[in-house]
Every structure is written in C-alpha cells, then in structure tokens.
C-alpha cells in the first residue's frame, strides 16, 4: 500500500490530499450503507498523527456536513500533526470543530464522551504500525474498547499488525473495519480475525492500470470474480451431462461424513453421486439417502475400507469426472495405504480431505507421483501435520505456508478456517470473505469437499471449483445462520441452503 500510494502521486500525479479526501468520503458512505444515515448522530473520532489520523480528521468534516455531531479526540499533540493531515486539522479548528488534543483532556472526559456517542471511529493508528502501543495510548485504547458502542476502524483496528494480524501491545476491537483500496493480510490472520469485525473495502481512486501493473499475488474473492464460473442448465441436459462423481469415505461409526459430502455435491448441482463405503455401513447409508448410489467394499477388522478394495475401487472410478476422498475414512493402516495407492493411480481430479490428508502426512512424496490434479482441504491442525508444525504456528503464517506448499507439491491447497485461503501452484492466492463463526461445527469441512467436487463434476476446472466452492460454502453458511442463528447451526442446515445460494448465484450470472 505504501508503494501504491507513492506511485499514485509520483507517476500518476494524483495529489495525496485527494486520495485522503476520497478515503474520508468513502468511509462515511460505507458507514451509512452498513449502518444508518449519520444525520443527527453523535460520533466520537479518535485520531493519530499519521495518514490514518488524517483520514479520520477529514471524515470528521464529511460527517458534520451530513448532519452529524462530531467530537474529535487527538491521541497526539496538535503540533505533531503535519502534511495532508494538518490540512484537515486546520480546517477543523478554523471552523470551530470540537477538538480535544493529547494533554488537553482527561480519561474521564474521554469516557463520558464515548458514552454519549452513537458510534466511534478508530483512526488512531494505521497500517504502518511497527512498535507496541503502550503507556497512555494503551490505556486510552482499552477505554474505547470498554465503551460498549459500535466501533468502526479505519483501514485496520489500531494496534493490529497489518502484515501478521497479531496485537502490538494493545488493540482496538472493532465491530466493523473499512479499509482503503485493498484488504490487508492482517485482516485475515491471528487477532485480526477477531478484532476487525465485518470488512468493507473503499475505492480511493487508484488507477486500474497501476493496480494491474502491481501484479498482486493475493486477491479477495468477490462476486465479480466468480461470476460466470458455474454454467446455467440448458434445455435437454440430463443427469449424465451434469457429471458423475465418486465419494470414497466413511468407516464404522462414521457414516455421517460420507453422506454430508455426497449430499453437498448433489445440492451443488452434480448429476450423479456414488458412495464407496465399507460394506457394514453401506446398507444403512443407502436407506437414509435415497438419491445416492453406493458401492459396498471389503473392510478391515476395524470397520474401514480394506486394502483389498483397491482393484474394485479403480474399476468403479472409471467414467467418473472427479473423486472426493477422505471424510470419515479412519486412520486404519490398510485404509491409509489404499489412499496412497489411489493417488498414484487415479488420473481424474482428486479432492482430498480429512483422513486422506492424514495419509499424506506420513509420506508427502506420494504427491510427486500423482496421476491427476489434486485439491487438498486441510484445517490448520491437518496442515500442521503435513509440514511438521503446530496449528498455532500455521495460523501465524497462513499466507506464506499455503503459497509455499502449493508451489512445492504442485497442488491446489484450501487452507480452511475463518477466511479460508486457496493457494494455486503458480503462486496466486485467494482469500474468502464469506462464512461465519456458526460454521465451527462437525461436518462443515465434509460439506465443502462435496461442493468443490460437485463443481468439478459439472465441468469446472479444479482451480475454479476450489475458488467458487469455498465462496458458495461460506454463503450457504451465512444463509443458514440468518435462518437458524450461529449457535446451534449444524451442517445439514448449511447443505439445505446450497440450492438457494446456487440459485441466487446463477440469477446473478444472467
């Protein structure tokens, strides 16, 4: 962002003051769009001395022009403000704006003002923060956090590292973050996940040519990015046209996982789904889900698919467009060996999840022998097992870990979690912004595996299927949460919403 700001002013001759004005106007526009008109509202703005503070100072003027009553608390001495920020500060003071600079207000006065406000704008510290927030500033941040008012952060909550997402000393916990021009990695990592709230992006006027030349490697998935990926249904199609996929999953005591994967694939639009299961659970599954076909397989002593099923499985895979493998398979040694053999034998795309990933963790070199495209969908714990790190270590460096793994092993990697990351072998990464905390429940990952496989069955490339599948999965979770609430949301609620999401998405494509 720093380099883009510099290029915009030096090469494209866009005044930096204009960029700041665009940011302030866009901030207020987004606040009114997300919440309510600001006319008649009491707003407290906390601002610092840098460009982030400048955005807040300019926003104070735009809020007042729209009828808001604004109090501006400057967490800096007024004499320390310079550059474009000083222009807005001078305008504010010349027009008798309500201003309280560092050294001229008490903590009690700050508390009282916050309690009298309708909402708070955090424009204290921005993306350039490099040292911990401490002393008076840390205390003031905690006072803001304790005010029980809606807090809107400008660019990124003050005190959150924009690159890594961790807290530097003390940090604002915002209800919403409105960021300028582009999202930052810190929005999607570590403490940034819980401190940013909902995220919106404001266009501040960067030229498209400049953005294209920047050759950015990480993109946020937007509706425009996925529009047109999933084709509508033409007259005359039949179930074979819409694709046939196989789900290899399940073991004794885990028959729910294959059903959720298979149903999610059908709900996504796949024409046919065949479940390959241990024979002892096949009958029960087939009776519960009438739309699914099934293949009963030999099983191990533990009730998982036996190694002796290899030949029959390979024959059953013939004619399928994609295979989903792993949910509920167990870590029985026979089954784990079977998974590895299938990876080096099957040439159609494989979507590998759960115990399929656990099998790879014992011998990653199998991926160098794969016969077809592979999509891996690990959660942070599974990712950690693949590379010998803890889940916590993975979360601290999600972007780099995902990019390096996908490139080294030539796979598409979906690193699940809040704001899942899709990493492509060529180095591009996509970040998802759909989904909600209610999706932290059993089987949600199984449904994602089914959606991705269902998209491939309908003719999408593995790359497009991973991007679209993750996006639609989150949207279905959001619809389910709207209907049921986040607490108590279960995977079948999400699966029920997949057709509604696909319907809305297809309507948008017209």
CA atoms in the 13 A half-sphere facing the CB of 337: 9
Checking if the pLDDT of 288 tops 80, the result is no
Residue where the block lists tokens 């207000």: 105
28-75 pLDDT, tens digit per residue, is 999 999 999 999 999 999 999 889 999 999 999 999 999 999 999 999
Q: What is the pLDDT of residue 487?
A: 94
Domain of 38: which CATH number? Answer: 3.40.50.10260
Residue 388 maps to a domain: yes
User: Do residue 59 and residue 20 come from a single domain?
Assistant: yes
Q: Which residues, 6+ apart, have CB-to-CB distance to 359 below 8 Å?
A: 331, 335, 336, 337, 339, 340
Strand (E) or helix (H) holding 442: none
Q: What is the pLDDT of residue 285?
A: 75
Domain of 337: which CATH number? Answer: 3.40.1190.20
User: Do residue 193 and residue 65 come from a single domain?
Assistant: yes
Strand (E) or helix (H) holding 50: none
**Can you tell me the distance from the alpha carbon of 277 to that of 297, in angstroms, rounded to the nearest whole number?**
6
Q: Show the CA angle centred on residue 344, arms to residues 366 and 278, nearest 5°.
A: 100
Q: What is the pLDDT of residue 287?
A: 61
User: Do residue 202 and residue 246 come from a single domain?
Assistant: no
Prediction pTM value: 0.91
Q: Strands 412-415 and 421-423: what pairing?
A: antiparallel
Count how many domains the chain has.
Answer: 2
Dihedral sign (CA 263, 268, 269, 275): negative
Q: What is the pLDDT of residue 507?
A: 65
Checking if the pLDDT of 506 tops 90, the result is no
The residue range of the domain holding 456 is 225-231+242-509
pLDDT above 90 covers a percentage of the chain that reads 87
Q: What is the pLDDT of residue 265?
A: 97
Residue 236 maps to a domain: no
Average pLDDT, the chain: 94
Among 146-155, 166-175, 221-230, the least confident range: 221-230
Strand (E) or helix (H) holding 321: none
150: which DSSP letter?
Answer: E
Region 157-180: mean pLDDT is 96
Alpha helices in 174-318 (DSSP H): 192-195, 208-213, 223-226, 256-268, 279-288, 310-317
**Can you tell me the distance from the alpha carbon of 244 to that of 200, in angstroms, rounded to the nearest whole number?**
39
Region 184-207: mean pLDDT is 94
The answer to whether 242 touches 456, Cβ cutoff 8 Å, is no
From residue 304, give the alpha-carbon distance in Å to each of 310, 317, 365: 13, 19, 24
Q: What is the pLDDT of residue 510?
A: 59
Alpha helices in 98-180 (DSSP H): 107-116, 135-145
**Can you tell me the distance from the alpha carbon of 86 to that of 74, in angstroms, rounded to the nearest whole number?**
12
Residue 216 maps to a domain: no
User: Do residue 400 and residue 282 come from a single domain?
Assistant: yes
User: Do residue 361 and residue 256 come from a single domain?
Assistant: yes
What is the full DSSP assignment across 278-299?
EHHHHHHHHHH-TT-EEEEE-B
User: Do residue 109 and residue 188 come from a single domain?
Assistant: yes
Q: Strands 350-352 and 176-180: what pairing?
A: unpaired
User: Do residue 160 and residue 291 come from a single domain?
Assistant: no
């Amino acid at each position: 962002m720093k380099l883009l700001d510099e290029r915009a002013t030096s090469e494209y001759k866009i005044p930096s003051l204009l960029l700041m004005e665009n940011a302030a106007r866009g901030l207020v526009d987004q606040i009114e769009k997300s919440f309510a008109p600001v006319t008649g509202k009491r707003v407290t703005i906390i601002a610092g001395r840098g460009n982030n503070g400048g955005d807040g100072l300019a926003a104070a003027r735009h809020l007042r022009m729209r009828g808001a009553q604004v109090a501006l608390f400057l967490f800096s001495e007024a004499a320390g403000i310079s550059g474009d920020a000083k222009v807005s500060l001078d305008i504010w003071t010349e027009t008798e704006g309500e201003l309280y600079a560092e050294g001229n207000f008490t903590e009690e006065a700050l508390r009282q003002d916050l309690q009298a406000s309708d909402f708070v704008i955090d424009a204290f510290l921005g993306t350039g923060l490099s040292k911990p927030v401490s002393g008076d500033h840390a205390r003031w941040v905690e006072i803001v956090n304790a005010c029980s008012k809606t807090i809107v952060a400008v660019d990124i909550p003050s005190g959150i590292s924009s690159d890594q997402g961790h807290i530097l000393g003390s940090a604002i916990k915002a209800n919403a973050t409105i960021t300028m021009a582009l999202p930052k990695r810190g929005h999607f990592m570590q403490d940034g996940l819980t401190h940013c709230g909902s995220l919106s992006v404001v266009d501040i006027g960067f030229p498209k040519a400049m953005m294209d030349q920047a050759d950015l490697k990480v993109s946020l998935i937007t509706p425009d990015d996925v529009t047109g990926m999933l084709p509508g249904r033409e007259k005359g199609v039949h179930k074979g046209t819409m694709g046939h996929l196989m789900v290899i999953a399940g073991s004794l005591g885990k028959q729910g996982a294959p059903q959720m994967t298979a149903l999610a694939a059908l709900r996504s639009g796949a024409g046919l789904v065949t479940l390959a299961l241990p024979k002892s659970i096949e009958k029960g599954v087939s009776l519960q889900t009438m739309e699914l076909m099934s293949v009963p397989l030999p099983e191990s002593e533990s009730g998982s698919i036996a190694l002796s099923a290899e030949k029959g499985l390979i024959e059953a895979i013939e004619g399928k467009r994609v295979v989903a493998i792993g949910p509920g398979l167990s870590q029985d040694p026979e089954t784990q060996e079977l998974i590895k053999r299938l990876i080096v034998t099957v040439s159609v795309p494989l979507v590998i999840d759960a115990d399929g990933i656990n099998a790879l963790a014992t011998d990653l070199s199998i991926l160098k022998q794969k016969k077809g495209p592979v999509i891996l969908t690990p959660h942070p714990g599974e990712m950690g097992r693949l590379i010998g790190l803890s889940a916590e270590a993975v979360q601290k460096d999600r972007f780099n870990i995902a990019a390096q793994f996908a490139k080294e092993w030539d796979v598409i990697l979906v690193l699940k979690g809040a704001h899942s990351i899709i990493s492509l072998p060529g180095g591009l990464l996509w970040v998802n912004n759909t989904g909600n905390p209610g999706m932290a429940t059993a089987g949600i990952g199984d449904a994602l595996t089914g959606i991705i496989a269902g998209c491939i069955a309908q003719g999408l490339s593995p790359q497009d299927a991973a991007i679209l599948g993750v996006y639609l999965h989150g949207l279905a979770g959001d619809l389910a949460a709207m209907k049921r609430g986040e607490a108590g949301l279960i995977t079948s609620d999400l699966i029920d919403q997949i057709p509604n999401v696909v319907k809305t998405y297809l309507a948008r494509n017209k």
